[in-house]
Amino acid sequence: MRRSGRFGLNQQDSFCVYGAPSVELATVPAGAVQVSPLIPGAAVLEDIAPASLSAMVVAAPPGTVERRYVLAQALRALKPGAPLTVMAPKEKGGARLAKELQAFGCAVEDIGRRHQRICHSVRPEAPTGLDAAIAAGAPRLVEALGQWSQPGVFSWDRPDPGTLLLISALPALSGRGADLGCGVGLLAAPVLANPQVAHLDLIDIDRRAIEAARRNIDDPRVAFHWSDARSAPALEGLDFVVMNPPFHDGGAEDKTLGQAFVRRSHQILRKGGTVWLVANRHLPYEGVLTPLFAKVALKAEAGGFKVYEAQT
Ligand SMILES: C[S@@+](CC[C@H](N)C(=O)[O-])C[C@H]1O[C@@H](n2cnc3c(N)ncnc32)[C@H](O)[C@@H]1O
């Protein structure tokens, strides 16, 4: 499967895939262009010219507003009559897929297999309701955050209580640092409030979060990275890392993801550098922090969250 940056698609590029549909449930040709915002380097679905794609397969996201936005963008990009296959686990939006596609004017064949609903359809000549679904799922300034955000991004319309606890516990940091899994950039403002901070790398695997963070933070000390923080960008010798590590991958709880973030923070810090992190109380991060770091201290605990400071 090819991945690409922002560019126009040519003839042979005109099959797109969103996410990772099960290979047993849909056929995706080897040259299909990936358009999921959660896969760094993927093409941008929103940039694809209207009525230009020959076919698309979508592994639909779980959030209703986000999913309807993706379906509307897919129908906008497909040529009239071009096939659209959409699938989702039954309990994560799959049960609603057929109705959602019908509301856009699609005739749908809805099949159940392996706990998923799979909907086969074609792009109608004149789909209905695309503009409204695209407007409902588009980036916007969210009052409760005072920040740009978008449905589908982590805690997109309200600050996460764990993030707020970490902000309340953070000291004035200094030197060069990074925020692994930065989201729309809520941690960046308090970090950058200290003029002693020389540079901050903001890293997230979600393109929408990075695009929102770019709008939210206008500071020459910041670099933005749409990448998997477990491996990229190349960083070393940092003075500090801040993070509210992810604990879900593809909708399922995944403790190993947060543990990988802890290991990566250790790898990119200088000797004596510190990581500040917040985690749900039930997540087993102490077991990873203690053998790696010279000092580990619990700095705050409230509302089911714990904040740790760990020094290399
Ligand atoms: C718990 S949220 C924290 C977001 C933000 N720091 C905050 O406090 O509001 C974790 C973030 O990690 C991102 N993420 C998940 N897996 C990632 C990965 N492998 N590399 C980089 N970011 C990732 C998610 O997109 C999400 O924005």
Which tops the pLDDT comparison, 260 or 2? Answer: 260
Q: How confident is the model at residue 253 (pLDDT cuts 50, 70, 90)?
A: low
Task: Write out the residue limits of the CATH 3.40.50.150 domain(s) in the chain.
Answer: 11-136, 140-311
230 C-beta closer than 6 A to ligand 1: yes
Match domain 140-311 to its CATH number in 1.10.3720.10, 3.40.50.720, 3.40.710.10, 3.40.50.150. Answer: 3.40.50.150
Question: Ligand 1 pocket test: which of 142, 157, 182 has the largest number of ligand atoms within 8 Å of its C-beta?
Answer: 182
Separation between Cα atoms, residue 18 and residue 205, nearest integer Å: 15
Per-residue pLDDT reduced to its tens digit, 118-134: 999 999 999 999 999 99
State the average pLDDT for the chain.
Answer: 93
What pLDDT shows up at residue 1? 45
Give tens-digit pLDDT for 134-189.
999 999 999 999 999 999 999 999 999 999 999 999 999 999 999 999 999 999 99
Question: What confidence tens digit (pLDDT) does each residue in 221-231 have?
Answer: 999 999 999 99
What pLDDT, on the 0 to 100 scale, is given for residue 55? 97
- 66 or 23, greater pLDDT: 66
What's the CA-to-centroid distance between 92 and ligand 1, angstroms?
A: 20
Report the alpha-carbon distance of residue 277 to residue 279 in Å, rounded.
7
Confidence at residue 9, expressed as pLDDT on a 0 to 100 scale:
53
- Does the pTM surpass 0.85? The reply is yes
Could you read off the pLDDT of 271-286 as tens digits, one per residue?
Answer: 999 999 999 988 878 8
Which pLDDT belongs to residue 94? 95
CA 59, CA 217: separation in Å to the nearest integer? 32
Of 1.10.10.10, 2.30.110.10, 3.40.50.1220, 3.40.50.150, the CATH number of 11-136 is 3.40.50.150
CB of residue 149 inside a 6 A radius of ligand 1: no
pLDDT of residue 286: 86
Structure confidence by residue, pLDDT tens digits, 44-60: 999 999 999 999 999 99
Expressed in angstroms and rounded, the spacing between residue 156 Cα and the centre of ligand 1 is 12
Give the per-residue pLDDT at 282.
Answer: 84
Q: What separation in Å is there between the alpha carbon of 129 and the centre of ligand 1?
A: 32
Tell me, in angstroms, the distance from the centre of ligand 1 to residue 102's CA: 33
Mapping DSSP onto H, E and C, the string for the chain reads CECCCCCCCCHHHCEEEECCCCCCCCCCCCCCEECCCCCCCCCCHHHCCCCCECEEEEECCCCHHHHHHHHHHHHHHECCCCEEEEEEEHHHCHHHHHHHHHHCCCCCEEEEECCEEEEEEECCCCCCCHHHHHHHCCCEEECCCCEEECECECCCCCCCHHHHHHHHHCCCCCEEEEEECCCCCCCHHHHHCCCCEEEEEEEECCHHHHHHHHHHCCCCCEEEEECCCCCCCCCCCEEEEEECCCCEECCEECHHHHHHHHHHHHHHEEEEEEEEEEEECCCCCHHHHHHHCCEEEEEEEECCEEEEEEEC
Residue 250: pLDDT band with limits 50, 70, 90: low
pLDDT higher than 50, residue 299: yes
In this predicted structure, what is the pLDDT of residue 284?
Answer: 79
pLDDT tens-digit readout, 8-44: 455 555 999 999 999 889 999 999 999 999 999 999 9
How does pLDDT run across 191-248, given as a tens digit for each residue?
999 999 999 999 999 999 999 999 999 999 999 999 999 999 999 999 999 999 998 7
Name the residue of 66, 180, 187, 205 whose CB sits within 8 Å of the most ligand 1 atoms, as the mutation to test its pocket.
Answer: 205
Burial of 131-168, coded b for 16+ CB within 10 Å and e otherwise, reads eebbebbebeebeebebbbbbbbbbbeebeebbbbbbe
- What CA–CA distances, in Å, run from 248 to 26, 35, 126, 211, 253? 25, 21, 38, 21, 4
Determine the pLDDT at residue 275: 98
- Residue 228 CA to ligand 1 center (angstroms) comes to 9
What's the confidence (pLDDT) of residue 8? 47
Q: What pLDDT sits at residue 7?
A: 42
